[in-house]
A and B are shown apart, each in its own frame.
Chain A
Amino acid sequence: MTTAPSPPPYRSLELRTPHGPLVPVRDPDAVELTGPVFGVTDVTALDSDLTRQHTGEPIGERITVTGQVTDRQGRPVRNQLVELWQTNAAGRYAHRRDQHPAPLDPNFTGCGRCLTDDNGTYAFTTIRPGAYAWRNHDNAWRPAHLHFSFFGTAFTQRLVTQMYFPGDPLLALDPVLHSVTDEADRARLVAAYDHDLSVPEWSLGYRWDVVLDGPSATVFEGEGGVR
């Protein structure tokens, strides 16, 4: 995905990125080093299967997505909230501000969540999202992607990122993906098709593991991680 021409700049960055440096917090008693917590009252089986949240079945290619969430030492992050949001199969968000003229799916909202198990594993069943036009530049199409949020174990560990699908020709043209400047880091945002995760006559399986890289995403040498 590095052979295509450089993608155009990501326009929304221009007026929204602070000019001042981030101010380091050294207060050892900082509130941000704790919680929040989420439990079984926050998540039900309906939350992790986005194909069951309405009375009818959503349209599209059914997929299962799973992976392990670990911290920078490789320890599983247990019982943590993972949230997912995405477009429907036609590339439209179920949101009134999305005016892209692709059809809405009455049986698909595109929001899900789950808690990681004792191995730090999350799992979702959903519909493969579509590419959509987003007006960043002429003929701008975002590659199909899933938005993910991982809460970690403290407010400062919160991580929000996007998972992409392997082999998508739009990956090389996407300013959002290329705002991550390191090629290896970009590659970690692309899931792997895993035939063992495919469910016969039901869904195609993808694996995407995530490393929570700690507060402010400080990168140390030899350390893998999605930032």
Chain B
Amino acid sequence: MPTTGGPDIAPLAHPDTITLHGYVYDGAGAPVHDALLEIWQPGPDGSRAGAPGSLRRDPVTGRAAGRDGVTFTGFGRVPTDADGHWAIRTLPPGGAPYLSVALFARGLLNHLRTRAYLRDDPDDALLTTLDASRRATLLAQAGPHRTYRFDIRLQGDGETVFLEFA
């Protein structure tokens, strides 16, 4: 159930906007074209309260209208393309080095949760429990134009670390 404006978490034309993007692959390395990702993150000031308004409708036409372009809600939703690619535009989270990610797709009886770390953090409580190769699956790679690439592998070599909250 993708939504208009779902990938555009950052307020319009905010100068600090970054793009987080990547591909989703299955155990055979094939792109997963029917996945849906949800993102939840602190605001740039570290606030974790979020705000309503991620899913607004146009009051006249009733059609999905997306965000108001001003409010930072902390929540995003994006489907993968036919090639398994997705991208969101957002602000770097304050107070935490990562964005929370939930992944939905056919064949996943329970959605999967992971984290996209924008920077390595030697003191992070989760990263310190992982060996180097597993840890690397949670680190987004900085690219040009304020982009960060975060690929998700559901199974097999380089399988992404998925989380449970006990």
Interface residues, chain A, with chain B CB atoms under 8 Å away? 10-20, 22-27, 30-44, 46-47, 53, 81, 83, 85, 97, 111, 113, 149, 155-156, 158, 160, 179-180, 215-218, 227
Contacts and interface: CB of A to CB of B under 8 A. Distances in A.
A24 B59 contact: no
Contact of A13 (B30, B56, B107): B107
Given A27-B125, A41-B52, A35 B30 contact: no
Contact of B155 (A12, A18, A155): A18
A31 B48 contact: yes
B32 interface: yes
A13 B113 CA distance: 17
A36 B154 contact: no
Contacts of B14: none
Contacts of B51: 37
Given A12-B107, A35-B40, A215 B164 contact: yes
B52 A31 contact: no
Contacts of A53: 62
Contacts of B1: 83, 85, 111, 149
Contact of B125 (A26, A81, A179): A26
B49 interface: yes
Contacts of B110: 217, 227
A11 B27 CA distance: 13
B108 A216 contact: no
Provide the main secondary structure of the chain B interface. loop
Contacts of A156: 113, 165
B74 A35 contact: yes
A23 B52 contact: no
B156 interface: yes
A217 B166 CA distance: 9
A8 B108 CA distance: 17
A142 to B, nearest CB: 11
B155 A17 contact: yes
Given A16-B32, A42-B55, A113-B55, A36 B40 contact: yes
A217 B164 CA distance: 9
A156 B130 CA distance: 21
Given A34-B49, A36-B74, A16 B102 contact: no
A156 B49 CA distance: 15
Contacts of A46: 57, 62
A194 to B, nearest CB: 26
- Most chain A CB within 10 A, of B30, B56, B166, is at B166
Contacts of A217: 110
The 6 closest A-B pairs by CB, nearest first: A12-B107, A39-B52, A36-B75, A35-B50, A215-B165, A22-B164
23 contacts: A11-B107, A15-B107, A15-B154, A16-B107, A20-B161, A22-B163, A23-B129, A23-B164, A24-B165, A26-B125, A26-B166, A31-B93, A31-B96, A32-B165, A34-B40, A34-B49, A39-B52, A39-B53, A41-B53, A42-B54, A42-B56, A155-B40, A158-B38
